[in-house]
């Protein structure tokens, strides 16, 4: 592909793409953006710098990282198609990675140049945002995980929205519709990535396809209602709540009920936090509920994902992690409130998501996990209860097992996964009983 990605072509691509981004975004660049077309190793030094900045700025995110920055930079670099680096004010695109992704996803290689254009447009949108709002200052001024998630949704949503509109405006081939999906799903392309660790709710939320795609839908809604002014107000003004991003983005597709203040103050949630702390695990903030739940769906795609999200009245995720770095223990919970008539189907879809997330991502790849037991069992006060164990099977990686329990009652489904530790049976039953008693408070 070297003859396709020659210097003259790449320079022309930049010159053509800048005015397109300016027109679609409704603002001009304040200075010529610096664009570098490079190879994967060239991404590692700036990635190393930005990971260090983010770790210092966000201890709650950094504490989940058990691997050194150098390793994380190499893993991220191997998956990226391109990236804007606010620490140096440059954007870097890896044409060879784009071509490899096209081939892996069965998109004709004849579209490689236009695919690189779309990646370039996405990253140019980040550069434009940075020039007008100071992306680095925005990130370093954040005060909570929820603000971090909201800015990620706004920033990635804006770039994805510009990219979508550019593809349609330029009338590029229909196969390139999937480039938005590929850019959003770069995290899934990380080599040798344990799917259980990759799906951890808090660690994955800001990098998930939900952040990109839901954020883009949010920007589209703002543009429809208030034009470029509303879009730039979101980019430069006060950040929205993550749930507001999710609800605004989905209002044309689904109707969801109001948030319940009592939802966070139930006996069930108190029990979860007590159990986590008793095991030496650190509970993580449970805000940003709907967007974070969307991000937790790392296996469910297409119509099944749309059906589950369309069935929500409310949802919460809860994570508790071992922050000592000594082990891979965690406790993860997803709680969904739905129409009573849809309860069983929602439970099925959550199961599909869990198992699909464990399946190999590429043809010929050996699975990381195997399910060794699954069965239903009776729990007083609960309509249905299910338990299963999955065990890590990779020969070159230390064993790790997960215990998954699902409790289903009229209008709600709870999925609890213990990773790297095995709760006593009485713990599960106590949680189920608390959940049953809290049912009235949990329903919208």
Instruction: Delineate the domains of the chain, giving CATH numbers in brackets.
Output: 7-242 (no CATH), 254-442 (3.40.1000.70)
| pTM, two decimal places | 0.82
| pLDDT attached to residue 261 | 38
Percent of the chain past pLDDT 90, that is, above it, reads 33
Q: Rounded to whole angstroms, how far apart are CA atoms 300 and 303?
A: 9
Q: Where are the alpha helices (DSSP H) in 58-144?
A: 59-62, 69-77, 95-104, 112-133, 135-140
Examine the pLDDT at 179 and tell me if it is beyond 60.
Answer: yes
Q: Rounded to whole angstroms, how far apart are CA atoms 248 and 222?
A: 8
- pLDDT by residue (tens digit) across 378-429? 988 889 999 999 988 876 677 788 899 999 988 889 999 998 888 888 888 8
Q: Which residue, 83, 244, 216, is CA-closest to 154?
A: 216
| pLDDT attached to residue 363 | 65
Examine the pLDDT at 89 and tell me if it is beyond 90.
Answer: yes
Count of C-beta atoms within a 10 Å radius of residue 211: 28
Close Cβ partners of 212 (under 8 Å, ≥ 6 residues apart): 156, 157, 160, 180, 183, 184
Examine the pLDDT at 203 and tell me if it is beyond 60.
Answer: no
Confidence of residue 258 (pLDDT cuts 50, 70, 90): very low
Q: Which residue, 180, 176, 143, is CA-closest to 158?
A: 180
């Amino acid at each position: 592909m070297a003859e396709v990605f020659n210097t003259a072509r790449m320079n022309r691509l930049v010159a053509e793409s800048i005015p397109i981004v300016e027109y679609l975004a409704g603002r001009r660049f304040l200075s010529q953006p610096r664009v570098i077309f490079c190879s994967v190793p060239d991404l590692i030094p700036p990635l190393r710098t930005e990971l260090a900045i983010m770790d210092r700025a966000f201890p709650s995110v950094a504490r989940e990282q058990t691997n050194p920055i150098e390793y994380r930079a190499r893993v991220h670099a191997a998956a990226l198609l391109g990236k804007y680096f606010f620490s140096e004010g440059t954007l870097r695109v890896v044409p060879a990675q784009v071509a490899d992704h096209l081939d892996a996803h069965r998109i004709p290689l004849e579209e490689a140049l236009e695919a690189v254009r779309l990646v370039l447009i996405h990253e140019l949108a980040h550069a434009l945002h940075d020039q007008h709002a100071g992306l680095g200052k925005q990130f370093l001024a954040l005060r909570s995980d929820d603000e971090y998630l909201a800015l990620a949704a706004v920033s990635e949503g804006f770039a994805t929205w510009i990219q979508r509109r550019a593809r349609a405006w330029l009338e590029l081939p229909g196969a390139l519709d999937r480039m938005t999906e590929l850019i959003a799903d770069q995290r899934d392309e990380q080599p040798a990535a344990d799917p259980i660790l990759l799906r951890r709710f808090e660690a994955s939320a800001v990098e998930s396809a939900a952040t990109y795609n839901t954020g883009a839908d949010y920007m589209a809604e703002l543009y429809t209602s208030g034009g470029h002014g509303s879009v730039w107000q979101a980019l430069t003004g006060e950040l929205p709540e993550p749930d507001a991003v999710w609800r605004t983005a989905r209002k044309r597709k689904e109707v969801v009920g109001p948030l319940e203040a009592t939802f966070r103050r139930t006996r069930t949630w108190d029990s979860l936090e007590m159990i986590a702390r008793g095991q030496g695990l650190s509970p993580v903030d449970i805000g940003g509920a709907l967007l974070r739940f969307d991000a937790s769906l790392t296996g469910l795609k297409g119509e099944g994902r749309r059906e589950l999200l369309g069935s929500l009245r409310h949802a919460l995720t809860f994570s508790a992690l071992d922050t000592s770095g000594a082990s891979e223990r965690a406790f993860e919970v997803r709680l969904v409130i739905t129409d009573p008539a849809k309860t069983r189907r929602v439970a099925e879809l959550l199961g599909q998501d869990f198992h699909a997330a464990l399946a190999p991502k590429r043809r010929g790849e050996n699975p990381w996990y195997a399910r060794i037991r699954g069965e239903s069992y009776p729990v007083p006060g609960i309509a249905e209860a299910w338990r299963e164990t999955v065990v890590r099977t990779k020969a070159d990686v230390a064993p790790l097992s997960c215990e998954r329990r699902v409790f289903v009652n009229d209008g709600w489904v709870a999925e609890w996964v213990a990773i790297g530790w095995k709760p006593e049976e009485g713990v599960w039953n106590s949680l189920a009983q608390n959940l049953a008693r809290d049912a009235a408070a949990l329903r919208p």
